[in-house]
Structure 1
Amino acid sequence: MSDETVWWRRGVVYQVYPRSFQDTNGDGIGDLEGVRRRLDHLVSLGVDALWLSPVFPSPMADFGYDVSDYCGIDPIFGTIEDFDRLLGEAHARRLKVILDFVPNHSSDAHPWFGESRRGRDDPKRDWYIWRDPAPDGGPPNNWISNFGGSAWEYDETSGQYYHHAFLKEQPDLNWRNPELRAAMADALRFWLSKGVDGFRVDVIWHLIKDASFRDNPANPDYVEGEPDISRLLQLHSADQDEVLDVIRELRAVVDAYDERVLIGEIYLPVERLVAYYGPDLSGVHLPFNFQLILTPWDARRVSQLIASYEAALPAGGWPNWVLGNHDQKRVATRIGAAQARVAAMLLLTLRGTPTLYYGDELGLADVAVPPELAQDPWEKNEPGHGRDGARTPMPWDSSPNGGFTTGRPWLPLNDVATLNVADEARDPRSTLSLHRALLALRRSTPALEIGDYEGLEAAGDVLAFRRRLGGEEIVIALNLGPKPAEIDLGEATVLLSTHMDRTGPEPAGPVKLRADEGLALKVSQ
């Protein structure tokens, strides 16, 4: 299969947070059967792949990102038979299925860790990261957990500390150990043999730590009130050059199966992010690019970001873009409902593979979760930094609990009378209708799927670029501001407006953009 036609280049990925998608047994928590029953929503939306946040057995200290068995399904979500049924029905609808693989750490309830902590001489001791105390008896170094506090936990039995980049219930695995690597490769093969189409690999840049466990330096730009982890630069606890050797091995496992994809979660600047494509593209197919989330919503800043990213890509490296996920505030919260529609057009027309977060197609914003209902362990450790607001249940209709559950939802919903799938599906100008139209335009326009990208000159709040393939040329013009603007494009025909009320040839002269409006246009060459 040629690079141009491989599914993960042309397709759009849709992330489902299973706890919040659809509950079918009344316990208030979404499940795999619920995802199966809602597959037609993904089909009607027009996406190509379903990415499931973790569904493996877990004590749920971090809601599935603490895995106790890499080859099973947690009873909260159903059974392995439920998964097989979901996978089969997704494939029958021509939807790919991507699993969330969490290899940096396991749960402390994983049998491997139970063996490892039995004593210093246990065969699996080196499957995790154990270190002697510092001379004063304290932690081996100054590394900080991503959830606040020391990244080391003392074990009374053995007199050593184990490392945990996140919760103490999530001990880090030692990827310098070849037996551990082999066991994790076998876990990947278990799911690949079932027909899973790929993996999103959690915190992949964390897998290898500094061999000497040196202290991290202070962050000179730290601002009081930021998360504890921001106090230090993660120079030695993550993003080590040797991680590319590990990723090359994971990629080889995936490449042994036809048309599978490896995606890496990587929160790094562009210049480091692109290193994860690996020498000769031997790394992950798609190192997740979160820069649209992290960059201020300003036309000139975003334009420069796109240009810098495109310039930094290695030869043959395929770009990708993300506007939201389970760890970030929703796009409608960050930039407002009106600009979230403009952002949707940007996401779905840029060169590269887009990932769409569940509920963003409705224009959902973060829900204000009262402290007494907080679930996120980060929120409990460092109040004000939690992620619950972006993980709330999907509103399917305007009935109580939005059609998500017949029980008590694990997190509160948005105002379901205002935003829900059923009502938005009937409204031709809704955010859902806009996403469907954008995805249909993308699918029917090869220049938007795989065409070249060229930034265009624009002034003020306007961001513009050209997508071209062969004789087909599409221009995207986006007004990132609250006032009308214009751009001179020559003879142009509007294919789609984010306001959903405008198509056809434009009058002679500059193309006029209303406040908070994005346009997809066909222009004469």
Structure 2
Amino acid sequence: MHHPGPPRFVAVGDEVELAPRDPDPTATYAWTVAAAPAGSAAALGDDPVEYFHPDEPGRYVVALDAPDGRHELTVRAFPGGLAPTSEAPSYPQSGTTETTADEAAAGTSGDAGDGSGRTDEPDEAAADPDGGGRPRLTLSATVTDDAVVVEADPQPHPEGVETAADLEVAFLLDDRDDIDREDVRIAGGELTVPLDALSDRARVHAVAVGRHGYSVPDAVDIGCERGDATDSGRDGGTVTVHRPYDPPAWAEDSVIYEVYVRTFPGQGSDAAAEGEVFDAIRERLEYIEGLGVDTLWLTPVLANDDAPHGYNVTDFLSLAADLGTREDYERLIDAAHDRGMRVLFDLVCNHSARAHPYYQAAVSDPDSEYREWYEWRGPGEPETYFDWELIANFDFSHLPVRRHLLDAVDEWAPLVDGFRCDMAWAVPNAFWREVHDRLKARDADFLLLDETIPYIPDFQAGLFDVHFDSTTYAALRRVGNGEPAEAVLDAVEDRARSGFPDHAGFMLYAENHDETRYVVECGRPAAEAALGALCTLPGAPMVYAGQEFGQRGKRDDLAWGHADESLREHVRRLTALRGEQPALATAAALERVDYDLREGWDDRVVAFRRAVEAPMETAEEERSAVVVVLNFGADPATVAVDAAAGETDLLTGESVGEDDGLRVDSVAVLPAGPSGQRR
């Protein structure tokens, strides 16, 4: 089906990329504006991939004529003053070619936000003199005897004066489904779908709207499986409700281990021979599992230009011969699965290597069919980011590029459990939406993890499940270099301040293959505390291979024979405790607690409480709460902590109690008592 996907919520002035899905590069596609608000002059051209610019607030319908019929897509445009401010990065390209917000993720809301509005809305939103920011929204749905009720839970910006009652909710039905606006009822922040109006599927999309903009969209997917007349639904059927923008349950609390494939086997006698890297990784799976890891992220494994990192791909459908064969790779994945570990494939879509045969054909012959595959800054010079000399950016307005990359997605996705998406910000959002829907239709638990720095809240809306938490990463680095340790809590709270909904997923990390090792930059004591932060804050912790034993080179052969065993044991204890304590799960609440530093540097210590939220009537033994104290200083600290209910460190099983508080070397996790109780 070539339908371009879900409806879009945008603001006037944004650009919406429109592209047929599952494209046939030899087919003919034509776009038209089928409906628009009064006064709009917005139009579309003749290309199969078009860029639509709403110029008036209100509802637009764009139509795609494709080989499989006519498809309509609703675009709701808010006034330009409601465009959410974005944390999207603006990365330098090597040339002066104009780029869109979708391509560089450098605009305000862009196609990342996608549209809603009323035709009677003013051109600009009134400024709020009391401050505030982007609202947030979560949808839920309940099946009753005669209807499905979709309820919106709008939340104001945490630092604004707006309340939930001040926010409006804008709903849109999915144009791909057999249901019309007249079939449903909308009132009081609820959308009701009568069961007798429900066909096979009804997808409902919505945003919360406030004075400062609209939220990241959320959605619910209502399905009806045909049954006999005794079941619910039109003509009988079982009704199901699914939240398509929630991360897979397994991913939210996974422990991820990044393997930089070519240097992971080690040095000297540990080094892998040519073509035996996959086997060498497989032989260390027992070790990796023993760290408490359940998810393996392998850096790129495809054929490349011999750069050791592998991100310069020369064949998107073949593995790198120096790593091993297809059989070796599949044997590694099967062995990981046998241990209950999932595997992430590092997916590169923004560019190819300049050594790729398609690029070589394009640069050597201006009349080559592959010339249109790439963006060009000038004759013979491709577009890139950061003046990288060995890659060339793909042109996603060219259908054969999209087709080729979708074929690559189809080739590798069945083997693995998720994609880590390289340079996600540089690839058009509409392409990622298609990848998301394509993969989730086959396996709802397939994970999409985006590398976007800084993170972009709108990527939660049907593009990716889990995001690199670059904000907490940066805070950990600053704290390791002397900034007050409270910055790590500020960073976690920034998720809501930037507009991420509560259901967004995050990967916590302190280092990776692009960054200086934390222990080198910040020292070993801070490295222990940073590992503690990764395993006790909300999110999925990621350990970069070698981080667990003090490796100092970020891409060097791992020095297995020179491991810091006490640091490795520290990691094992942290991951084990995280798995044992419900209060350390991602869904558990995080709150600051009062504490007094009796000995040590006050800016090196931070304490917080994690707790499983439960009704007041829940039995005490069913509750779970802990207090975490992190000390980034070189010397032990003595801390008197509110809400600590004991002196036994759950991490080590040893008492850390002293006459005037708790002794904390780097990390302490203690049972939590009622708020206000001080040890």
TM-score, normalization: structure 1? 0.71
Instruction: Select the residue among 506, 510, 513 that pairs with 2:663.
Output: 513
**SS at structure 1 position matched to 2:252:** helix
- Residue in structure 1 matched with residue 309 of structure 2 by the alignment: 63
Q: Which amino acid aligns with 1:391?
A: R
- Measured against aligned partners, the alpha-carbon deviations of 1:362-400 in whole angstroms (never above 9, x if no partner) come to 122x2xxxxxxxxxxxxxxxxxxxxxx31122233xxxx
Q: Which amino acid aligns with 2:671?
A: K
- Residue in structure 1 matched with residue 422 of structure 2 by the alignment: 202
**SS at structure 2 position matched to 1:355:** strand
- 2:345/2:419 contact within 8 Å kept: yes
- Measured against aligned partners, the alpha-carbon deviations of 1:86-135 in whole angstroms (never above 9, x if no partner) come to 01110000100001111111112222213333433332221111244xxx
Query: Following superposition, which runs of at least 4 residues in structure 1 exceed 6 angstroms of deviation?
Result: none
- 1:30/1:77 contact within 8 Å kept: yes
- Measured against aligned partners, the alpha-carbon deviations of 1:250-282 in whole angstroms (never above 9, x if no partner) come to 2123212321111111122xxx532322xxx21
Deviation at 1:162, TM superposition (A): 1.3
**SS at structure 1 position matched to 2:320:** coil
- Residue in structure 1 matched with residue 593 of structure 2 by the alignment: 456
Deviation at 1:79, TM superposition (A): 0.8
Change (3 A) 1:348 1:8: same
- Residue in structure 1 matched with residue 466 of structure 2 by the alignment: 286
Deviation at 1:456, TM superposition (A): 2.6
**How many angstroms apart in 1 are the aligned matches of 2:530 and 2:360?**
46
- 2:363/2:380 contact within 8 Å kept: no
- Measured against aligned partners, the alpha-carbon deviations of 1:342-379 in whole angstroms (never above 9, x if no partner) come to 11111011111111111111122x2xxxxxxxxxxxxx
- Residue in structure 1 matched with residue 458 of structure 2 by the alignment: 275
- Residue in structure 2 matched with residue 74 of structure 1 by the alignment: 320
Q: Which amino acid aligns with 2:441?
A: A
Deviation at 1:465, TM superposition (A): 1.5
Matched, 1:307 2:490: no
Instruction: Select the residue among 402, 413, 432 that pairs with 1:247.
Output: 432
- Residue in structure 1 matched with residue 575 of structure 2 by the alignment: 439
- Measured against aligned partners, the alpha-carbon deviations of 1:20-47 in whole angstroms (never above 9, x if no partner) come to 1116775489711110000001111111
- 1:362/1:431 contact within 8 Å kept: yes
In structure 1, the gaps of 5 or more residues are 133-158, 208-242, 367-388, 397-401, 403-415, 425-429
Instruction: Select the residue among 419, 427, 441 that pairs with 1:256.
Output: 441
Deviation at 1:160, TM superposition (A): 4.0
- Residue in structure 2 matched with residue 97 of structure 1 by the alignment: 343
Change (3 A) 1:131 1:120: farther
- 2:631/2:666 contact within 8 Å kept: yes
Q: Which amino acid aligns with 1:294?
A: A
**SS at structure 2 position matched to 1:81:** helix
Deviation at 1:510, TM superposition (A): 6.0
**How many angstroms apart in 2 are the aligned matches of 1:202 and 1:504?**
45
Matched, 1:116 2:362: yes
User: Which is higher, the Rg of structure 1 or of structure 2?
Assistant: 2
**How many angstroms apart in 2 are the aligned matches of 1:251 and 1:510?**
54
- Residue in structure 1 matched with residue 395 of structure 2 by the alignment: 174
**How many angstroms apart in 2 are the aligned matches of 1:121 and 1:440?**
59
In structure 2, the gaps of 5 or more residues are 1-241, 597-601, 615-622, 675-679
Change (3 A) 1:472 1:124: same
Change (3 A) 1:26 1:476: closer
Deviation at 1:485, TM superposition (A): 3.5
Change (3 A) 1:440 1:26: closer
**SS at structure 2 position matched to 1:328:** coil
Deviation at 1:245, TM superposition (A): 2.1
Instruction: Select the residue among 459, 467, 492 that pairs with 2:645.
Output: 492
**How many angstroms apart in 2 are the aligned matches of 1:129 and 1:5?**
35
Change (3 A) 1:454 1:491: closer
- 1:492/1:506 contact within 8 Å kept: no
- 2:247/2:466 contact within 8 Å kept: no
- Residue in structure 1 matched with residue 252 of structure 2 by the alignment: 9
**How many angstroms apart in 2 are the aligned matches of 1:104 and 1:341?**
36
**How many angstroms apart in 1 are the aligned matches of 2:302 and 2:341?**
21
**SS at structure 2 position matched to 1:115:** helix
Matched, 1:503 2:639: no
Deviation at 1:301, TM superposition (A): 2.4
- 2:304/2:310 contact within 8 Å kept: yes
Change (3 A) 1:30 1:82: closer
Matched, 1:522 2:671: yes
- Residue in structure 1 matched with residue 627 of structure 2 by the alignment: 475
Change (3 A) 1:131 1:81: same
Change (3 A) 1:121 1:105: same
CA RMSD of aligned residues (A): 2.5
Q: Which amino acid aligns with 2:666?
A: E
- Measured against aligned partners, the alpha-carbon deviations of 1:258-310 in whole angstroms (never above 9, x if no partner) come to 21111111122xxx532322xxx212111211234323113132232222234
Q: Which amino acid aligns with 1:433?
A: E
Change (3 A) 1:465 1:311: farther
**How many angstroms apart in 2 are the aligned matches of 1:38 and 1:331?**
24
- 2:532/2:667 contact within 8 Å kept: yes
Matched, 1:394 2:519: no
- Measured against aligned partners, the alpha-carbon deviations of 1:188-207 in whole angstroms (never above 9, x if no partner) come to 1111122x111111111122
**How many angstroms apart in 1 are the aligned matches of 2:255 and 2:590?**
18
Matched, 1:465 2:614: no
- 1:21/1:30 contact within 8 Å kept: no
**How many angstroms apart in 1 are the aligned matches of 2:648 and 2:280?**
35
**SS at structure 2 position matched to 1:485:** strand
Instruction: Select the residue among 381, 388, 410 that pairs with 1:189.
Output: 410
Q: Which amino acid aligns with 1:247?
A: W
**How many angstroms apart in 2 are the aligned matches of 1:480 and 1:27?**
40
**SS at structure 1 position matched to 2:318:** coil
**SS at structure 2 position matched to 1:493:** coil
Change (3 A) 1:481 1:29: farther
Deviation at 1:60, TM superposition (A): 1.8
Change (3 A) 1:390 1:25: closer
- 1:447/1:474 contact within 8 Å kept: yes
**How many angstroms apart in 2 are the aligned matches of 1:329 and 1:117?**
35
**How many angstroms apart in 1 are the aligned matches of 2:609 and 2:317?**
45
Q: Which amino acid aligns with 1:325?
A: N
Q: Which of structures 1 and 2 has the larger relative contact order (alpha carbons within 8 angstroms, sep 6+)? A: 1
Change (3 A) 1:84 1:467: same
**SS at structure 2 position matched to 1:117:** helix
Change (3 A) 1:187 1:5: closer
Change (3 A) 1:391 1:522: same
**How many angstroms apart in 1 are the aligned matches of 2:457 and 2:373?**
29
**How many angstroms apart in 1 are the aligned matches of 2:643 and 2:504?**
33
TM-score, normalization: structure 2? 0.56
Deviation at 1:481, TM superposition (A): 2.4
Deviation at 1:504, TM superposition (A): 4.6
Instruction: Select the residue among 499, 505, 508 that pairs with 1:318.
Output: 505
Deviation at 1:491, TM superposition (A): 4.6
**SS at structure 1 position matched to 2:381:** strand
- Measured against aligned partners, the alpha-carbon deviations of 1:303-361 in whole angstroms (never above 9, x if no partner) come to 32222234432242123311110000111112101111111111011111111111111
